[in-house]
Chain A
Amino acid sequence: MGFALKKHPVAIVVYVVLAALVVWLFLALWPQWLVGLIGPKKVFVNTIFNGVTLAGLYFLVASGFTLVFGLMRNVNLAHGSLYLFGAYIGYEAADLTGAWLIGVAAGFLASALVGVLLQFFVFRRMEGDDLRQTLVTIGISIVGADLMLAVFSGNTYQFTIPAWIDGAVPTPIVTAVKSDGTSVIMMYPLYRLVVLATAVAIGIALWLLLNRTRIGMMIRAGVDDRAMLSASGVNVHMVFAIVFAIGAGLAGFAGVVGGTALSIAPGEDVRYLLASLVVVIVGGMGSITGAAIGALLIGLAEQVGLAYFPTYGVVLTFVIMVVVLAFRPQGIMGRAA
């Protein structure tokens, strides 16, 4: 610590001040001039909370996307369709059994299965031909979206949040003090916090899988040199199938989790495909950490845009992408191609 302080004294002081400022923004009662400047504290804190929880959801979707890309150099533009497919299957399963957790599992498994089938029947047949693989996934997403529209119609589906994670919980944040001296404590939906916690848990699990297990070692070796991995006796196709199953399954998992937080409807596939694209472009392709950073930036930008400049919200997301591309074309955590 002392060494770091000597090496970057200015940077560390700036970080500490920034961190203190953020803590103060959340914990302190806002003075009148600040309220006049950016509106009530409740809106601000809610926006940040929403942004971070949305980031959790985006991370779930984008981590699968980036994992598949990192290993197979395959931009799976049907990733949004896998999200929507998982959500629909999960909904049907939860509706049938009455258990939400079964729906989550069904969403994961259904998308994972489709992912393996895709890998087996499509991508293996055109290995090394990036452009064709990408075009095929576009074709699949067109057909997939249309068939899902045919089966599930254009209605909006809404999961019932199970009772044990429904409702709002108090947070230790005081948004205002009433005239009689009692504090107004901010409440926040428990489910959204669960989504965030799940995303963090999945992120850690992925990191452990990639960095601490044998299969993770194979995957990382495959990213670096596919031919060499194959030469050392590893069944590369098996590794590919596993990665594709995890990546696609995560999309389906996110479909159920996200569909519960928001809703499921046609068009969501495009929305989450865009989110995944922007997240991995910003964060750096093939990097789990990058996906987390990208998701956080994009989730916050989207919610801040929604709350403070509604019609130009998308532009904010876009500006982040442009700035990152201008200074780091490979993304924040990406390695130069």
Chain B
Amino acid sequence: MTVLDSKSVATPMAVSGRRLPFDAGYLLLAIALLLYPAVASPFFTFQIGGYTLILGTIALSLMVLAGYGGMVSLSQMTVAGVAGYTIAIFGTNTSGVMGLGWPWWIIVPLAIFIGAVASALIGMLAVRTAGIYMIMITLAIATAFFYFVRQNYALFNGFNGFHGINPPTALGVSWRDPVPFYYLALAVATFFFVVVTYAQRSTFGLSLQAIRDNPRRMRAIGFDVAAHRVFAFFLAGVIAATAGILLVWFNGQITSGTVDVNAAIDVLVVAVVGGLRKPIGPYLGALLFALLQNFAIDLIDPERFNTVIGLVFLVIIFFSPDGLLGLWEKLRTTTMNKSLRPALRRKPSK
């Protein structure tokens, strides 16, 4: 039933009171991230730092669904796009279509809410099926949304989309500037990272993982499997929608290209390359993706970026099903004391 059976082996470890994420590694990482703008150029702060955090957060929403829920959804970019379009339509833009000019403190919660509801609706459709069927349905939804916004000029301004969308100047700070924007993205990413890390061990998080591992048994002991899954879609929608708002502010625009099939697949690539088992995975994947996107042009023809990212994706899937996280763990296991190895060696259940 569940497609991620082999990943479920990690659950007992995570459940049985593993250390909280307050170990030295996370502390160092937090300090490094906070100090990062001080040493990095504006380009690195904004284009690499900001973008990694945004893309990682969108991929985090997929990681929640796929890693904990066993549901691989390709429509997370669509949810982010719905939130982005909400910002463009109800806020201000320079494209002369829609742009109702509402203040940011209304449109931001509104966009998150609409995005989350859209995600829940997608979920209601998608949870009627499981596994590979779900990938197909969410991909079909994502593609349909892309063609819809591209053709619809009255509401979504079609192919051109909306331009000139700026983050607000609030609390005396212009959030468009690289450093404030970086900290905004960092705050959002940290918030969701911590929430996901803890929610994983909440009653709901545990039920969701149990449903991933054995939906039939969970149904038999009285859990409403579909409702849990739809709620997971709703929560993932909150994450994706918030990141979608940041994305539209980051780009300053949203067009049909933002939600096209490539973008939808990129989110999956990022999440899978990083690793779907822990919340840190999507951010690792996003960092690699942002670096490749910005620096692959130095190595090869910029037009061939998709070939590079596609090949990286293929290599990772072939050699490490758990992504970069899996590589890291493999490395750690091989360098560990031999006597410890049998306990840590994992065999996929299939």
User: A residues touching B (Cβ–Cβ < 8 Å)?
Assistant: 73, 75, 77, 125, 128-132, 134-136, 138-140, 142-143, 145-147, 149-150, 270, 273-274, 277-278, 280-281, 285, 310-315, 317-318, 321-322, 325-326, 329-330, 337
Contacts and interface: CB of A to CB of B under 8 A. Distances in A.
Contacts of A318: 141, 144, 148
Contacts of A270: 143, 261
Interface string B249-278: 000000000000110010011001000000
18 contacts: A75-B135, A77-B135, A132-B321, A139-B317, A142-B310, A143-B306, A150-B303, A150-B307, A274-B140, A281-B133, A311-B152, A312-B152, A313-B151, A314-B148, A315-B148, A321-B144, A326-B128, A337-B133
A76 B32 CA distance: 42
Contacts of A75: 132, 135-136
Interface string B298-323: 00000111110111011001100100
Contact of B144 (A138, A149, A280, A317): A317
Interface string B130-163: 1111011101110110011001111000000000
Contacts, number: 120
A277 B268 contact: no
Interface in B65-117: 72
A147 B306 CA distance: 9
Interface residues of B, number: 45
B350 interface: yes
Contact of B137 (A145, A146, A281): A281
Contact of A142 (B129, B147, B306): B306
A310 B151 contact: yes
B128 A325 contact: yes
Contacts of B34: none
A138 B311 contact: no
B14 interface: no
B30 interface: no
Given A75-B135, A138-B268, A329-B129, A321 B306 contact: no
B321 A281 contact: no
Contacts of B137: 281, 321, 325
B296 interface: no
Nearest to A144: B310
